[in-house]
Amino acid sequence: MPAGDRLAGEKGRVVTHVKTDAQTSAANLEARFLEHRAKVGVIGLGYVGLPLARSICHAGFTTLGLDNDADKVAQLNEGRSYIRHIPADDIGALVASGRFRATSDFAEVSGLDAILICVPTPLTRHREPDLSFVLGIGRSIAPHLQAGQLVVLESTTYPGTTMQELRPELEAGGLKSAVDFFLAYSPEREDPGNPVHSGTTVPKVVGGDGAEATALACALYDQVAVRTVPVSSVDTAEAVKLTENVFRAVNIALVNELKVIYSRMGIDIWEVIEAASTKPFGYMPFYPGPGLGGHCIPIDPFYLTWKAREFEVPTRFIELAGEINATMPSYVVERLALALNDRFAKSLKGSRILLLGFAYKKNVGDERESPAFKLVELLEARGARVDYYDPYVARIPLSREHPHLAGRTSVAWDEIFAGGYDAALICTDHDEVDYTALVEALPLVVDTRNATRGLHGVRDNIVMA
């Protein structure tokens, strides 16, 4: 007979509230989370999954990392790290403790209490959502799914993905969500290399397929993150992540457009932003750049615009922001071309250009969707000879959109000063770069990140773009 709660009813009658199997299973799983006895698996050990697995392990859970990349698995099991801001010593200590191990065998999910999915959600060549990684993982783990497990998708996606796309793949193995296993969505909020806000200090939004799934996801993440924020549905949780990144994309587009306007007026956008930031209300600073990068901001808004078409709702504001941000690499290259011509009567064709920084943001080695890819292509299309320097990206990896750039390597820092470069274009403002030495050594420096701000008015070879 299923377990039940015996409560005093009206007129002294004893009323038995019989728990369903799902409720009993949920209660048992919640206890394992609260007592840190659960075994947690993280699928996808990239810039989101590996920090998450590390945080879960540090919280005291036995953690299994799963990834199709055998090289990543081998490095982790040897106590090495392939992400610069995650120390190898930390990975080594977790492996040595016996609480962390990596594998490519997805059959091992059968022994887990919770399965967290952190795989890419890119765009196709037609700028439509590509859910192949998410659905592929669903098919891989469905045969091994066990009753009583919690499955949480963390990959950024449009509302409806978890319930309409992933759930059928998981249920193909015979178990049913909210009956046999528990399904939830909790968007990742990782900011690689951020020294202030790490995965554990950022609240986790959670939406589940039913009350039990939501409560269970909260019980797990409560042990890892500073706090959880439950919402009413899976779709709402998915919308939260898109809203966060659409907000950033739109505001970056606005400040990029202001940059172009103020440049024509002879006004420094960076000085404007600094002064505007002194207002304690009604203003939030966003910063211009050479284009959008990373796996979120250049991609996520298009997930929403694609889904909105299903409901016949136009997304003009979001699409306009995307268009503005997409023009920034061309704008930057044109600024460089004009500066070369005005100062040295030299064209881009035949010029040697040093691209400073290849990562999409400073102080990390993540080059995904970096505007550097587009900048190199645009410069070389106009006949320039391009090298790059980046202390975090020693070699350009293979990518779907820019395979012809794969294998190129960063020049050494000392090579920059050997002479021969006509200009440097600052794409990424890594802190460890000596910008004073760079400006003193090269005839022209085009700065898209305000990295040379301390030299403005001191050196006349700096052009802001």
Tell me which residues are annotated as active site: 296
CA separation, residue 28 to residues 34, 438, 439 (Å): 10, 61, 63
| C-alpha closest to that of 86 among 52, 130, 60, 123 | 52
Contacts of 448 (CB under 8 A, 6+ apart): 288, 289, 290, 332, 425, 426, 427, 464, 465
Distance CA 230, CA 228 (A): 6
Distance CA 154, CA 240 (A): 12
